[in-house]
Amino acid sequence: MPSRDFPQVRLHIVTGKGGTGKSTVAAGLALGLASTGTHVLLCEVEGRQGIARMFDVEPLPYAERRIATGLPGADGGRGGIVHALHVDPESALLEYLSMYYKLGRAGKALDRFGVVEFATTIAPGVRDVLLTGKVYEATKRNARNKHAITYDAVVLDAPPTGRIAQFLGVNQELAGLARMGPIKNQADSVTSLFRSGRTAVHLVTVLEEMPVQETADGIAQLRAHDLPVGGVIVNQVRPRDLGEKDLVAVRAGKLTKRKLAADLNRVGLTGSAELVLGLFTEACDHAERRALEDAQRGLVAGLDVPTYELPRLVGGVDLGGLYELAGLLREQGLA
Amino acid sequence: MTRPRSRVGPQSLDGGHPLDVDRLLDDPATGIIVCCGSGGVGKTTTSAALALRAAERGRTVVVLTIDPARRLAQSMGIEVLDNTPRPVAGVSTTASGGSLDAMMLDMKRTFDEVVESQASPEKAQQILRNPFYIALSSSFAGTQEYMAMEKLGQIHADARRDGTYDLIVVDTPPSRSALDFLDAPERLSSFLDGRFIRLLLAPAKGPARLMSAGLGMVTNALTKVLGAQVLRDMQTFVAAFDTLFGGFRQRAQKTFELLQADGTAFLVVAAPEPDALREAAYFVERLGEDDMPVAGLVVNRASPEQHGDITAEEAMAAAQRLRKDGADSLTAGLLRLHADHMRMVERETLLRHRFEAAHPQVPIAVVPALAGDVHDLAGLRQVGALLAGERPT
């Protein structure tokens, strides 16, 4: 079953400001998309081995490895299979050369002359084309790669928002090497997939000023380059144990220490003036943060894209937490 | 190079020791502070807050930022890129005699300036117009890191010559990995005098063509993949740049030595999250290997410690009892929030203790999260005070 809100999309690109948890969201999305009979590939391209850490497996090689079973469906059916791929530019270059140019021995010579290092670390723009090229190949499998698995969905844990347009190869001002020569053809077919209805770029944010601002800027930039904007995933949302009425009361100064102390007394938490003061300070602090969050939530709503919310996981993100996020994304329709 | 390193000893019972930020800032021997860490942990804010605090305590400071948030840049008067430090208005230095300048790095411009200062005017023009150079200077993933270090070297040399600044605070680029800025100069300079460059220069230099039997094959392969035009541009660039290579390598080496010098202090910035702390630990180790002096770890945006001596479980139980009683939901909600908060604090403390266990020699400053965002000098001042261990009463 494909994404409910994005049924046509096959390639889900997940970006976000550093520290907002985009890798976690990408992993949760992959688990959520892998319902019964659905094959999903989760890719990472930044050499961090974040997937291996999240799923608690050995560091991933440049090969598609089965890492998890997707979230079971509501009907109790078994989840589909999630594979993972760690794309590194060196391997992608050598694979590309052997697939398209039949270079054979010359490929090895290239390595010996430092050409591989040059192409993957220094030659402007080439690195990104190699990384996106592999993701393209996995999304649009063709006859050149025999016996490969065909995926129903590919989720890409992409570079951060600030670099996303450049990464997706559409930033014409930064005319890199990839904008000239034969490698350009490769880049062009990749770009046409990215611009098609089969792709959606999702942005992860938290309810703070800078990440929300960066999300707004990112959306504007994606739109300016005709890249399909998917949804905004608001991550790490604080618990909302105080209702709107309570928040108003706190802000209006209607919460008194005496009242707090009386309530605490009733349940046997007696005598701690420090606790009363602590809870009182916390209440004021929480009310202020919630007001700031609401203001940012309003800005996110004004972005005119579907939004999804995920809670802050108190215990940190472990495998169980990823399934929890997957379930929430499925409930809300992103997966 | 084999300066003795502090031994990693057994964990002390009370964890690590606090970082004395004011002593670091006030010490006239501290000439450079480099803030590094993974993306999204608040490096820029930390750098700006440290610089402001140092200035208001009497140092003549310049802060080199990479990519500040727009409103912060505006409030510091550096939203225009001109690659030159500008005085920051609104700093209260009348009493202390200090000052604060700030600048935002323009990497292409810095690269251009290096070329212009190193090559003859005609040659510089030739390089600056070369398509390969334009691509390299504006999009190479390591250029920003390299140029940040280059600019640091320049400012440091100027400051030493003219006595303009006695403290330089440097923010590092939001790289893929926090280590990129240490590696990039080496990578660029090893590329510039590596085998590949000699290969590109070979056709221009006649006999070198015979260097290897594999050469023709490689050139053919490159032409196939990159196209003949790109290869020609690269060759022109490399030929024009040839005489500058030595200079680049020397400069990279000098900056590296500057970072190892005693007047330099590295502050590793992290958020109280497993990934950020893992990256921080890795960074501390790497800096140690490179003989770079780590002054401490800054843990930003920590959940503030709570008053009151009940556990999370007790708070939850009390909240439930209140709800059963049908009593005021506000107090119950607050108790649940308190429990949630305690668990966060507990988890963050555990993460920090683990870091301390592995790196007991690294002092730590914990900066509690502010309710709002920081985008003006008042906010920076507040962060600076928290960095120095002052707590609101």
Look at the alpha carbons of B325, A315, A209, B65 in this order and tell me if their dihedral is positive or negative. Answer: positive
* DSSP 3-state of A313: coil
Q: Contact B135/A243, CB-based, under 8 Å?
A: no
How close does chain B come to A176, measured CA to CA in Å? 5
Q: Are strands B167-171 and B86-87 parallel, antiparallel or unpaired?
A: unpaired
Q: Which of A53, A246, A288 sits opposite B333 (nearest CB)?
A: A246
**Per-residue burial over B216-229, b = 16 or more CB atoms within 10 Å of its CB, e = otherwise:** ebbbebbbbbbbee
CA A86 to each of CA A10, B127, B315: distance values in angstroms, whole numbers, following the listed order: 19, 37, 44
- Give every strand in the sheet of A153-157, ordered side by side: A65-69, A81-86, A39-44, A153-157, A11-16, A199-205, A229-237, A307-311
* Per-residue pLDDT tens digits for A64-81: 999 999 999 877 788 899
A contact test, residue of B111, B307, B309, B343 with most A CBs within 10 A: B307
Token pair, residue A133, equals 């090229």
| Confidence band, pLDDT 50/70/90 cuts, at residue A151 | very high
What domains, with CATH codes, occur in chain A?
A: 11-239+297-332 (3.40.50.300), 244-288 (no CATH)
For residues A15-21, give the mean pLDDT: 91
For residues B122-143, give the mean pLDDT: 80
ipTM given for this complex: 0.84
- Mean pLDDT across chain B, nearest whole number? 82
Q: Contact B341/A282, CB-based, under 8 Å?
A: yes
Check residue A180 and give its pLDDT: 61
**Per-residue burial over A202-221, b = 16 or more CB atoms within 10 Å of its CB, e = otherwise:** bbbbbbbbbbbbbbbebbeb
Q: Contact B307/A122, CB-based, under 8 Å?
A: no
How close does chain B come to A330, measured CA to CA in Å? 25
Q: Contact A255/B276, CB-based, under 8 Å?
A: no
Q: Contact B140/A285, CB-based, under 8 Å?
A: no
Task: List, in order, residues 6 or more apart from B55 with CB less than 8 Å away.
Answer: B61, B91, B93, B96, B98, B99, B100
- Mean pLDDT across chain A, nearest whole number? 88
Q: Which of B69, B140, B327 sits opposite A122 (nearest CB)?
A: B140
Check residue A16 and give its pLDDT: 95
Check residue A268 and give its pLDDT: 82
**Weakest mean pLDDT among A188-202, B80-94, B173-187:** B173-187
Using a pLDDT cut of 70, give the percent of chain A over it: 91
Check residue A171 and give its pLDDT: 57
Number of residue pairs across A and B with CB atoms under 8 Å?
226
Q: Is A99 on the interface with B (CB under 8 A)?
A: no
Q: Which of B40, B304, B340 sits opposite A19 (nearest CB)?
A: B40
- Rounded Cα gap, residues B69 and B276, in angstroms: 20
Q: Which of A19, A122, A275 sits opposite B41 (nearest CB)?
A: A19
Q: Contact A181/B132, CB-based, under 8 Å?
A: no
- Rounded Cα gap, residues A60 and A83, in angstroms: 11
pLDDT of B387 over the 90 cut: yes
Token pair, residue A268, equals 């046997």
Check residue B366 and give its pLDDT: 95
Check residue B5 and give its pLDDT: 44
- Rounded Cα gap, residues A13 and A16, in angstroms: 10
Q: Which residue of B has its CA nearest to A19?
A: B40
Q: Following DSSP, what letter does each residue of A221-259 receive, concatenated?
A: HHHHTT--EEEEEEEEEPP--S-HHHHHHHHTT---HHH
| Confidence band, pLDDT 50/70/90 cuts, at residue B379 | very high
The H-or-E segment that residue B93 falls in is: none
Q: Is A286 on the interface with B (CB under 8 A)?
A: yes
Q: Which residues in chain B are closer than 8 Å to A175, comparing Cβ atoms?
A: 131, 134-135
| Confidence band, pLDDT 50/70/90 cuts, at residue B264 | very high
Q: Contact B136/A124, CB-based, under 8 Å?
A: yes
- Rounded Cα gap, residues A164 and A141, in angstroms: 24
* Per-residue pLDDT tens digits for A80-123: 999 999 999 889 888 887 777 776 666 677 777 777 777 777 66
| Confidence band, pLDDT 50/70/90 cuts, at residue A169 | confident
- Rounded Cα gap, residues A24 and A321, in angstroms: 9
Tokens 């392969």 map to which residue? Answer: B221
B contact test, residue of A88, A129, A267 with most B CBs within 10 A: A267
* Per-residue pLDDT tens digits for A300-319: 999 999 999 999 987 778 89
C-alpha dihedral, B139 to B145 to B149 to B154, nearest 10°: 20
* DSSP 3-state of A266: helix
Residue type for position B329: S
Structural contact between residues A319 and A55, judged by C-beta atoms closer than 8 angstroms: yes
Check residue B184 and give its pLDDT: 67
Check residue B176 and give its pLDDT: 56
Q: Which residues in chain A are closer than 8 Å to B340, comparing Cβ atoms?
A: 239, 241, 314
For residues B205-226, give the mean pLDDT: 61
CB atoms inside a 10 Å sphere around CB B14: 7
Q: Which residues in chain A are closer than 8 Å to B225, comparing Cβ atoms?
A: 97, 101, 119, 181-183
* Per-residue pLDDT tens digits for B323-370: 887 766 788 999 999 999 999 999 999 999 999 999 999 999 999 998
Check residue B308 and give its pLDDT: 73
Q: Contact A213/B40, CB-based, under 8 Å?
A: no
- Rounded Cα gap, residues B393 and B390, in angstroms: 9
List A residues 234-273 in contact with B (Cβ-Cβ < 8 A).
Answer: 239, 241-243, 246, 249-250, 255, 259-260, 263-264, 266-269, 272
- Rounded Cα gap, residues B220 and B228, in angstroms: 9
Cα angle for residues A322, A328, A333 (degrees, 5° grid): 125
Q: Which residues in chain A are closer than 8 Å to B341, comparing Cβ atoms?
A: 282
**Weakest mean pLDDT among A143-147, A294-298, A331-335, B310-314:** A143-147
User: Mean pLDDT highest for which of A68-77, A169-178, B175-184?
Assistant: A68-77
How close does chain B come to A73, measured CA to CA in Å? 30
Q: Which of B38, B271, B371 sits opposite A289 (nearest CB)?
A: B371
Q: Following DSSP, what letter does each residue of B129-156 receive, concatenated?
A: H-HHHHHHHHH-TTHHHHHHHHHHHHHH
How close does chain B come to A82, measured CA to CA in Å? 23
Q: Following DSSP, what letter does each residue of B331-355 receive, concatenated?
A: HHHHHHHHHHHHHHHHHHHHHHHHH
Q: Is A209 on the interface with B (CB under 8 A)?
A: yes
Tokens 């850490």 map to which residue? Answer: A53
Residue A206: name the closest of A13, A15, A21 by CA.
A21
| Confidence band, pLDDT 50/70/90 cuts, at residue A210 | confident
Q: Contact A105/B217, CB-based, under 8 Å?
A: yes
Q: Which residues in chain A are closer than 8 Å to B276, comparing Cβ atoms?
A: 19
A239 sits in the region (left: phi over 0; alpha: psi -120 to 50; else beta) called beta
Residue B36: name the closest of B272, B259, B283 by CA.
B283
Q: Which of A17, A246, A264 sits opposite B330 (nearest CB)?
A: A246
Token pair, residue A145, equals 């790669």
Residue B60: name the closest of B102, B101, B105 by CA.
B101
Strand partners, B269: B298
A65 exposure class (CB count in 10 Å sphere: 0-12, 13-18, 19+)? middle
Token pair, residue B18, equals 């606090």
Q: Contact A117/B196, CB-based, under 8 Å?
A: yes
| Confidence band, pLDDT 50/70/90 cuts, at residue B93 | confident
Residue A123: name the closest of B199, B234, B176 by CA.
B234
Structural contact between residues A204 and A235, judged by C-beta atoms closer than 8 angstroms: yes
Q: Contact A242/B330, CB-based, under 8 Å?
A: yes
* DSSP 3-state of B380: helix
Q: Which of B136, B274, B338 sits opposite A316 (nearest CB)?
A: B274
Q: Which residues in chain B are closer than 8 Å to A181, comparing Cβ atoms?
A: 225-230
- Give every strand in the sheet of B86-87, ordered side by side: B86-87, B99-104, B60-65, B167-171, B32-36, B264-270, B294-302, B364-368
- What is the 8-class DSSP label of residue B171? E
* DSSP 3-state of B302: strand
Q: Contact B69/A213, CB-based, under 8 Å?
A: yes
**Weakest mean pLDDT among A278-292, B141-155, B279-293:** B141-155
Query: Is the model more confident about B149 or about B53?
Result: B53
Check residue B138 and give its pLDDT: 73
One-letter-per-residue 3-state SS of A119-159? HHHHCCCHHHHHHHHHHHHHHCCCCCCCCCCCCCEEEEECC
One-letter-per-residue 3-state SS of A49-64? CHHHHHCCCCCCCCCC
Residue B100: name the closest of B41, B67, B56, B45 by CA.
B56
Residue A139: name the closest of A148, A147, A128, A126 by CA.
A148
For residues B37-62, give the mean pLDDT: 93
Q: Is A90 on the interface with B (CB under 8 A)?
A: no
Q: Which of B195, B229, B330 sits opposite A181 (nearest CB)?
A: B229
Q: Which residues in chain A are closer than 8 Å to B274, comparing Cβ atoms?
A: 316
* DSSP 3-state of B267: strand
Q: Which of A177, A264, A289 sits opposite B226 (nearest CB)?
A: A177
Q: Contact B131/A175, CB-based, under 8 Å?
A: yes
CA A300 to each of CA A216, A217, A296: distance values in angstroms, whole numbers, following the listed order: 8, 12, 6
Q: Contact B195/A48, CB-based, under 8 Å?
A: no
| Confidence band, pLDDT 50/70/90 cuts, at residue B33 | very high
User: Mean pLDDT highest for which of A174-183, A273-282, B142-151, B323-332?
Assistant: A273-282
Q: Is A28 on the interface with B (CB under 8 A)?
A: no
Task: List, in order, residues 6 or more apart from B129 with CB less than 8 Å away.
Answer: none
**Weakest mean pLDDT among B26-35, B137-146, B204-213:** B204-213
How close does chain B come to A217, measured CA to CA in Å? 11
| Confidence band, pLDDT 50/70/90 cuts, at residue B162 | very high
Q: Which of A17, A109, A260 sits opposite B214 (nearest CB)?
A: A109
- Rounded Cα gap, residues A282 and B392, in angstroms: 14
- Rounded Cα gap, residues B108 and A210, in angstroms: 25
Q: Which residues in chain B are closer than 8 Å to A174, comparing Cβ atoms?
A: 135, 138-139
Check residue B10 and give its pLDDT: 39
Check residue B12 and give its pLDDT: 37
Q: Following DSSP, what letter does each residue of B10-37 receive, concatenated?
A: PPPTT---B--HHHHHH-TT--EEEEE-
